[in-house]
């Protein structure tokens, strides 16, 4: 089986290898760190079966690029592996042809189960999003369009990291240490997050984010 892993963090790529190698016999894994590099690499792989794609990649404009990849390689399964996502990301990913949307936060065994579901022809959807889809009766165009103004969609990758750590109750200093940045930079990200969410403080920002569908 030919698998292409696309993530700009080498630690993520290395962590995925034993998981993917354990799925089936005779797995060959190729790596790329950028979206453009993934397109170029995929064009050289004969019989590419599966692409594991991060959404926050250099050279990637967003979820719509899943459709770009699928149009170039229609026979290849594309699975999104994301550390941060909102409901809109998942909905659009499937609209653009993704075969699965897998959170990076899953345990090793859960990751294996998710990939095996995709390889067996089923879609893998995060459990919290699946509940929402069941309540809505499935994925449809009107549902996607209704979420276009969600401010969470406009957060930068670093802002998403900060918001994720905020949900864990971490202080600005702890967040700065965790991300390897200055505390003043964290405060700036917080200020911008508050502005985008129309929040006045950390507690209100967290409450609004969760209401809007934030999950990490």
- Give the CA distances from residue 150 to residues 80, 127, 169, 211, in Å, rounded to whole numbers and listed in that order: 20, 20, 23, 11
Domain stop point among 146, 167, 188: 146
Residue 90 included in any domain: yes
**Quick count: other Cβ atoms within 10 Å of Cβ 189?**
23
For each of the chain's 216 residues, which pLDDT tens digit applies? 999 999 988 999 999 999 999 988 899 999 999 999 999 999 999 989 999 999 888 888 778 888 889 889 988 999 999 877 777 778 888 888 898 999 888 889 989 999 998 888 888 887 766 655 555 554 444 444 444 456 776 777 678 888 888 888 899 999 999 888 888 889 988 998 998 888 999 989 888 888 877 765
Question: Do residues 105 and 205 both lie within one domain?
Answer: no
Question: Do residues 6 and 91 both lie within one domain?
Answer: yes
Number of folded domains that form the chain: 2
User: Would the pTM of this model clear 0.85, i.e. be above it?
Assistant: no
Question: Do residues 33 and 71 both lie within one domain?
Answer: yes
Least Cα distance to 80 among 11, 95, 71 occurs for 95
For 47: left if phi > 0, alpha if psi spans -120 to 50, otherwise beta; the answer is: left
Residue 47 included in any domain: yes
Question: Do residues 141 and 181 both lie within one domain?
Answer: no
Task: Copy the structure tokens of residue 162.
Answer: 């900060």
């Amino acid at each position: 089986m030919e698998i292409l892993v696309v993530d700009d963090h080498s630690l993520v790529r290395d962590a995925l290898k034993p998981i993917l190698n354990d799925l089936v016999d005779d797995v060959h894994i190729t790596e790329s760190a950028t979206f453009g590099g993934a397109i170029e690499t995929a064009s050289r792989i004969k019989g590419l079966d599966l692409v594991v794609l991060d959404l926050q990649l250099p050279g990637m404009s967003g979820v719509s690029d899943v459709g770009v990849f699928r149009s170039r390689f229609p026979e290849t399964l594309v699975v999104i592996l994301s550390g941060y996502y909102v409901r809109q990301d998942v909905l659009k990913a499937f609209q653009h042809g993704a075969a699965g949307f897998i959170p990076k936060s899953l345990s090793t065994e859960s990751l294996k189960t998710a990939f095996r579901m995709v390889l067996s022809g089923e879609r893998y959807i995060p459990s919290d999003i699946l509940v929402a889809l069941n309540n809505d009766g499935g994925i449809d165009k009107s549902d996607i369009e209704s979420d276009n103004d969600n401010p969470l969609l406009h957060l930068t990758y670093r802002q998403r990291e900060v918001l994720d750590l905020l949900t864990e109750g971490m202080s600005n200093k702890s967040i700065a240490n965790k991300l390897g940045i200055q505390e003043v930079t964290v405060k700036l990200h917080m200020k911008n997050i508050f502005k985008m969410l129309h929040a006045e403080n950390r507690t209100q920002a967290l409450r609004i984010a969760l209401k809007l569908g934030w999950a990490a």
